[in-house]
């Protein structure tokens, strides 16, 4: 069944029509890549999915809640739908470990011992267990992004939204982050990924959306997309 569903969604920035009558249904557990030119609205599209950008009309159902309804508690959605940003958005004044334990502690009231165990297991998975007590400024971009993904995973979300997760990274760090994203996909977590990484879209993605001028121009299986002349 669908975990994210757009029905005739429009979004404006002032008079600028950023999303035009979007109809899109994303199946639970699927990996959807979104590509398209700069300024086409990809980031806007993904940011509407957890309420970071409000929509102006239509219906947008995420984990059963309607984001068009002003009464919807965004925290209920964000508990289940994580977000990974281009520029990491780590908490600079907290250690790597604390970056991961903070939200589960505050939002889920997870017991301290269990919280730490889950976080350390995740740091192990992203190959940063030795960095638990460091601060974000001591990490490379690739390491920061792996922490950001581990932080998302610690909430045990149903879905994670990725907004150009490798675009700010030096080329040699990209593959490690893509490997972690592949691990996320293997967990059965729904992923929506705005990306320029065609290899990821092709190998890990179930579906590829080509976005342009606020609209979905093409929506197909990666193998169909790449078969084009
Ligand atoms: P993409 O992610 O494809 O580069 P964006 O979603 O960031 O595209 O932006 C789509 C369009 O909306 C661009 O023309 C951008 O300038 C405009 N835009 C994005 N955010 C805002 C904002 N907060 N206020 C006004 N215009 C915006
Ligand atoms: P970007 O790096 O994509 O430009 P912003 O800096 O505009 O993102 O982030 C927007 C806000 O969303 C920030 O205040 C950030 O702390 C907050 N934020 C971080 N993670 C999430 C999340 N999972 N869901 C909603 N908001 C989040």
pLDDT at 225: 84
* Cβ of 65 below 6 Å from ligand 2: no
Does residue 61 have a pLDDT over 70?
yes
Nearest CA to ligand 1 atom 24: 13
**Greatest CA separation for the chain:** 55
Say which range, 86-90, 147-151, 223-227, has the weakest mean pLDDT: 223-227
pLDDT at 229: 64
Predicted TM-score of the model (pTM): 0.91
Ligand 2 atom closest to the CA of 163, numbered from 1:
3
Task: For residue range 112-149, list pLDDT tens digits in order.
Answer: 999 999 999 999 999 999 999 999 999 999 999 999 99
Question: How far is the centre of ligand 1, averaged over its atoms, from the C-alpha of 185 (Å)?
Answer: 28
Task: For residue range 159-207, list pLDDT tens digits in order.
Answer: 999 999 999 999 999 999 999 999 999 999 999 999 999 999 999 999 9
Whole-angstrom CA distances from 158 to 21, 47, 134, 136, 222 are 26, 16, 29, 26, 23
Residue found under tokens 């470990």: 97
Residues in contact with 40: Cβ distance below 8 Å, sequence separation at least 6, in sequence order: 211, 212, 213, 214
Ligand nearest to the CA of 103: 2
Mutating to test ligand 2, I would choose from 85, 167, 189 the residue with most ligand atoms within 8 A of its C-beta, which is 85
Q: 126: which 2 tokens?
A: 């992203």
Asked whether 165 and 185 are in contact (CB, 8 A), the reply is no
Question: How far is the centre of ligand 2, averaged over its atoms, from the C-alpha of 163 (Å)?
Answer: 10
* Cβ of 82 below 6 Å from ligand 2: yes
Q: How confident is the model at residue 223 (pLDDT cuts 50, 70, 90)?
A: confident
* Cβ of 51 below 6 Å from ligand 2: no
Question: How far is the centre of ligand 1, averaged over its atoms, from the C-alpha of 152 (Å)?
Answer: 24
Percent of the chain with pLDDT over 70: 99
Give phi and psi for 174, each to the nearest 5. Answer: -65, -45
């Amino acid at each position: 069944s669908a975990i994210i569903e757009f029905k005739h969604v429009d979004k404006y920035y002032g008079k600028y029509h950023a999303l035009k009558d979007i109809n899109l249904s994303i199946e639970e557990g699927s990996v959807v890549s979104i590509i398209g030119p700069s300024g086409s609205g990809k980031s806007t599209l993904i940011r509407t999915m957890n309420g970071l950008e409000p929509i102006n009309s239509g219906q947008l159902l995420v984990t059963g809640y309607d984001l068009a309804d002003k009464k919807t508690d965004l925290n209920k959605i964000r508990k289940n739908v994580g977000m990974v940003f281009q520029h990491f958005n780590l908490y600079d004044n907290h250690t790597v470990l604390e970056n991961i334990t903070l939200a589960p502690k505050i939002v889920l009231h997870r017991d301290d011992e269990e919280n730490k165990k889950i976080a350390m297991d995740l740091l192990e998975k992203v190959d940063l267990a030795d960095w638990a007590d460091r601060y974000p400024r001591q990490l490379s971009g690739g390491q920061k992004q792996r922490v950001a993904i581990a932080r998302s995973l610690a909430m045990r979300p149903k879905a994670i939204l990725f907004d150009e997760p490798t675009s700010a990274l030096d080329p040699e760090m990209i593959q490690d982050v893509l490997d972690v994203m592949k691990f996320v996909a293997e967990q059965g977590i729904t992923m929506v990924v705005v990306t320029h990484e065609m290899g990821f879209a092709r190998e890990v993605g179930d579906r590829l959306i080509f976005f342009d001028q606020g609209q979905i121009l093409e929506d197909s299986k990666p193998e169909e997309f790449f078969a084009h002349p």
